[in-house]
Structure 1
Amino acid sequence: MVFCVLFLLTLLSTGSLQFQFKHHNNEELLEVLQDVNSKCPNISRIYTLSENSVLGIPLYVIEFSTKPGHHEVLKPEFKYIANMHGNEVLGRELILKLADYLCEQYTKGDPKIRYLIQLTRIHLMPSMNPDGWQLATDTGGTDFLIGRTNNNSIDLNRNFPNLDRIVFTNEDEHIDHNNHLLEQLTQLSEPLQPETKAVIRLIMQVPFVLSANLHGGDLVANYPYDDSKSGRQRGEYTATPDDETFRHLALSYSTRHADMAKPNRHGCGDIESSAFPKQGGITNGAKWYSLQGGMQDFNYLSSNDFEITMELGCDKYPPSSELENEWKRNKDALLNYMWQTHIGIKGVVYDSQTKRGIPNAVIHVKNVTNEESYDINHDITSVHDGDYYRLLTPGKYKVTAYRDGYLPHTKLVTVTNKPHTPAQRIDFPIKPITIPPYIRIQTDNYINNKLEDEFDNNQQWSNWAEENEPVPEPIAVQ
């Protein structure tokens, strides 16, 4: 009795409360995050996205890092986003519990959790659609559709800019542009919702390496592309250039889940769902059913981020009594997936003369593991201080770093991916291109003579100059 009283007094004095497995409303969601932050202030930070929901509810994120609020060189960034469809609520509660668990285990000295947070900057967003959650909850949480959309009746997982059509067109026309495609977008099919705008800004501002989007309604790990190349609605496997890596990422979750990958489990009812257990609990999105404007494809094609979608169960709104068991069923998978942020290679691209990091350098990879080598036609770029992160499965690769004004640098790399360790570090010192003065003078004279021959009036020169202007840097989404 004395112990119970002392324990209660301790809770009251610290303001900390033990996590409860329940459906937390929108006010309680913030209270859980604040409680976690109060218990782990040195490794956590709560922030809100740039836009509120349609009904004005802030979109909260809790971050875990040894230096919250700052990108650190060679520390990759990870994110989980849940409750995008408001009536798919399990992910929301799992993310709240995950935040509580990371803080709790870090404080207890769990070596793996401490090491994970030391190596990774982790962002957890419990709810992207608090308005939809409220509607689903107010109507009993039993309908398969009520609460799915935001308060403008828009499905947020169809509201992102459709970059798939751009990359498919580039492929068909042999245009060598396969990444960071937002700059090529000329129009939107529909206005962006505030929740969508907020997440796009987050994606553009933080150099995420890996992420996942938590849904419900089936039990499967879904990987890109979500949009079929031909436009066919079902049954068309549409692989990204990183198909092998995406399959690995999906399996890293499904095989650590209690039964997602078990071949003898039951599906969720439809024909496609019944096949998932025999596929290891994973599926290509477009083969399952094609959708445009999805968040996972947008991440892959607009940034360096690799994202997949986890469908966490047949029941979109499970009762509170099942939440603790669902945490146990998903905990190892949630943690193991975060560790995949450290597969492949990472390093710094820097000027070989000044030793300064070079942002926006391109990292191109060629798989030379087998006799039939091939280019992985999806490049990533270095970020703020020249650091880069390239997710890869085990094998041999030729990796090339280059940027305008520098000589390209290629290295042969063998990737092994030892569990629970940082990615192999491969740095690229690249040489600036310098032209000796006597060659520059000769070159300038040659160019001037050619210009005099080929452009006989100022108008022609003006046209030529306009056509050869450098491509402007992408403008951040406003």
Structure 2
Amino acid sequence: MDCARLWLGLLLPLAAALDFRYHHQAEMEAFLKAVAQNYSSITRLHSIGKSVRGRNLWVLVVGRFPKEHRVGIPEFKYVANMHGDETVGRELLLHLIDYLVTNDGKAPEITRLINSTRIHIMPSMNPDGFEAVKKPDCFYSNGRENNNYYDLNRNFPDAFESNNVSRQPETVAVMEWLKTETFVLSANLHGGALVASYPFDNGVPATGTLHSRSLTPDDDVFQYLAHTYASKNANMKKGDHCKNKMNFPNGITNGYSWYPLKGGMQDYNYIWAQCFEITLELSCCKYPPEEKLPFFWNFNKASLIEYIKQVHLGVKGQVFDQNGNPLPNAIVEVQDRKHICPYRTNKFGEYYLLLLPGSYIINVTVPGHSPHLTKVIIPGKSQNFSALKMDILLPFRGQLDSIPESNPSCPMTPLYSDLPSHSAATKPGLFLFLVTLFHLLFK
């Protein structure tokens, strides 16, 4: 029996070995389960829901405390394969998982990242679409949509105009997932172009659509995040690697500048989930031959790691009342960049604000009390895999009676409806329509 256990122990790590090819649902599940078993101290595997056809939507968590949130440790996520025929991101995330768990305790950078970050990885948001692709194609395949023929990246609530489509199981699962964690930073992996795209994807004149763009209050941070990813990818940063596609200076673009998109996931994350998300288009070809996968891994590995580190930008901390009780649901925002859906502390009284180096005034607001202002100076260098830590003590006793964790001031309606009405710039003209058709809706 002891010999059998010894042989089993020697063989189990081999089960997590990952080759460069496309892994269908059963193979992907086997790999994820093997990783969760072999690296149980730093991983947690769970399903956030099921697809239309009942396939699990798997998420593997990697971190020193993978099973639950710990105060001060930010939550990061990658989501891929939202469009089932855009396949490179799916495989890259499987290889990222393999790289993280096998380098813990060996590579100092990865070890520090795992020590300081809780990393959530969803290799496929649309497993039905992936399995539906019968003839892989560079431009479009029948697996783009889910099994109900809905484009999942047009299926979320929209802050700018009504999006009364039937909410799909995969979309609902992600929306519910976002309520369970304090996600700070995210990226959504796609294919069909080579660019890092940042919010907003939709807009109104107040966000800049009259100038063919739609900018968030945190545009400086979003441009930095997109540039961080693109700059580590030699082909992406060229901006014109996909010769028959658009030219993207430095490999980045504002989503609306590329083309307007209603019901997208990155806008939803930023507005309703307090999570900064960008969209990464990783391959000119949506479903390239699998012999190209090592090439994509080599060009994206450094970018994938460097982007995770950015969850440690800015400032973080807890808000306490005068008795030292953490205050949930307190509004914590920088004075000159208020969000239309105010950013609030979680149930532990925590806040995370992604900010570039500089001087800021943090405004903390609790109902029934005057705003509390705190000056913070964020240094030029990151604090060794940690945002600047600043706890805020308020000079009064807080009301802690069953404050809801969700944001009560943000209904699932167009939040920009009271701002100036939509201009023609928010609706694709003939030229934009032709461009969009030509690029076959890459996102």
Q: What TM-score do you get using the length of structure 1 for normalisation?
A: 0.78
1:167-190 deviations in Å (ceiling 9; x for gaps): xxxxxxxxxxxxxxxxxxxx7511
Work out whether 1:62 is the aligned partner of 2:60: yes
Measure, in 2, the Cα distance between the counterparts of 1:226 and 1:358: 33
Give the structure 2 partner of residue 87 of structure 1.
85
Work out whether 1:160 is the aligned partner of 2:156: yes
Give the structure 2 partner of residue 122 of structure 1.
119
Deviation at 1:476, TM superposition (A): 10
Give the structure 1 partner of residue 437 of structure 2.
none
**SS of corresponding position for 1:85:** coil
Q: 1:362 and 1:268, CA in 2 relative to 1: closer, same or farther beyond 3 A?
A: farther
1:437-478 deviations in Å (ceiling 9; x for gaps): xxxxxxxxxxxxxxxxxxxxxxxxxxxxxxxxxx9947999x
Deviation at 1:303, TM superposition (A): 1.7
Identity among equivalent pairs (%): 41
Q: 1:310 and 1:122, CA in 2 relative to 1: closer, same or farther beyond 3 A?
A: same
Work out whether 1:30 is the aligned partner of 2:29: yes
Judge conservation of contact 1:235–1:288 (CA < 8 Å) in 2: no
Deviation at 1:427, TM superposition (A): 1.0
Q: 1:103 and 1:159, CA in 2 relative to 1: closer, same or farther beyond 3 A?
A: same
The CA RMSD measured in Å over matched residues stands at 2.5
The one-letter amino acid paired with 1:41 is S
Measure, in 1, the Cα distance between the counterparts of 2:370 and 2:15: 56
Deviation at 1:119, TM superposition (A): 0.9
**SS of corresponding position for 1:59:** strand
**SS of corresponding position for 1:199:** helix
1:84-128 deviations in Å (ceiling 9; x for gaps): 00000000000000011100000x421111111111111000000
Measure, in 2, the Cα distance between the counterparts of 1:321 and 1:303: 37
Judge conservation of contact 2:136–2:287 (CA < 8 Å) in 1: no
Measure, in 2, the Cα distance between the counterparts of 1:142 and 1:237: 28
Judge conservation of contact 1:344–1:417 (CA < 8 Å) in 2: no
Measure, in 2, the Cα distance between the counterparts of 1:472 and 1:64: 27
Q: 2:241 aligns with which of 246, 253, 266?
A: 266
Q: Kindly name which structure, 1 or 2, has the bigger radius of gyration based on alpha carbons.
A: 1
Mapping for residues 387-406 of structure 1, pairs under 5 Å: 387-406=350-369
Q: 1:233 and 1:402, CA in 2 relative to 1: closer, same or farther beyond 3 A?
A: closer
Deviation at 1:129, TM superposition (A): 0.4
Measure, in 2, the Cα distance between the counterparts of 1:396 and 1:119: 25
Give the structure 2 partner of residue 453 of structure 1.
none
Deviation at 1:207, TM superposition (A): 1.1
Q: 2:332 aligns with which of 352, 360, 363?
A: 363
Work out whether 1:243 is the aligned partner of 2:241: no
Give the structure 1 partner of residue 232 of structure 2.
256
Aligned length: 396
Deviation at 1:418, TM superposition (A): 2.0
Work out whether 1:200 is the aligned partner of 2:175: yes
**SS of corresponding position for 2:188:** strand
Give the structure 1 partner of residue 136 of structure 2.
140
The range that moved more, 12-21 or 383-392, is 12-21
Measure, in 1, the Cα distance between the counterparts of 2:28 and 2:137: 18
Judge conservation of contact 1:135–1:146 (CA < 8 Å) in 2: yes
Q: 1:8 and 1:251, CA in 2 relative to 1: closer, same or farther beyond 3 A?
A: farther
The one-letter amino acid paired with 2:176 is R
Measure, in 1, the Cα distance between the counterparts of 2:220 and 2:395: 33
**SS of corresponding position for 2:150:** coil
Q: 1:293 aligns with which of 260, 263, 269?
A: 263
The range that moved more, 84-93 or 156-165, is 156-165
Give the structure 2 partner of residue 48 of structure 1.
47
1:214-233 deviations in Å (ceiling 9; x for gaps): 00000000000001325999
Measure, in 1, the Cα distance between the counterparts of 2:259 and 2:135: 28
Q: 2:390 aligns with which of 426, 434, 441?
A: 426
Q: 1:268 and 1:48, CA in 2 relative to 1: closer, same or farther beyond 3 A?
A: farther
Give the structure 2 partner of residue 305 of structure 1.
275
Deviation at 1:290, TM superposition (A): 0.3
Give the structure 2 partner of residue 376 of structure 1.
337
Deviation at 1:36, TM superposition (A): 1.5
Judge conservation of contact 2:82–2:152 (CA < 8 Å) in 1: yes
Work out whether 1:73 is the aligned partner of 2:43: no
**SS of corresponding position for 1:267:** coil
Structure 1: which 5+ runs fail to align? 1-6, 166-186, 367-374, 435-470
Judge conservation of contact 2:359–2:377 (CA < 8 Å) in 1: yes
1:229-255 deviations in Å (ceiling 9; x for gaps): 259999711111111110011011000
Judge conservation of contact 2:315–2:388 (CA < 8 Å) in 1: yes
Measure, in 2, the Cα distance between the counterparts of 1:222 and 1:46: 29
Deviation at 1:421, TM superposition (A): 2.5
Judge conservation of contact 1:39–1:103 (CA < 8 Å) in 2: no
> Which gives a bigger RCO, structure 1 or 2 (Cα 8 Å, sep 6+)?
2
Measure, in 1, the Cα distance between the counterparts of 2:271 and 2:83: 22
Q: 1:234 and 1:133, CA in 2 relative to 1: closer, same or farther beyond 3 A?
A: farther
Deviation at 1:17, TM superposition (A): 4.1
Q: 2:194 aligns with which of 219, 239, 253?
A: 219
Q: 1:96 and 1:381, CA in 2 relative to 1: closer, same or farther beyond 3 A?
A: same
Q: 1:426 and 1:17, CA in 2 relative to 1: closer, same or farther beyond 3 A?
A: closer
**SS of corresponding position for 2:343:** strand
The one-letter amino acid paired with 1:393 is L
The range that moved more, 222-231 or 343-352, is 222-231
Measure, in 2, the Cα distance between the counterparts of 1:473 and 1:421: 32
Work out whether 1:411 is the aligned partner of 2:374: yes
Give the structure 1 partner of residue 428 of structure 2.
none
1:74-93 deviations in Å (ceiling 9; x for gaps): 11100000000000000000
Deviation at 1:142, TM superposition (A): 4.9
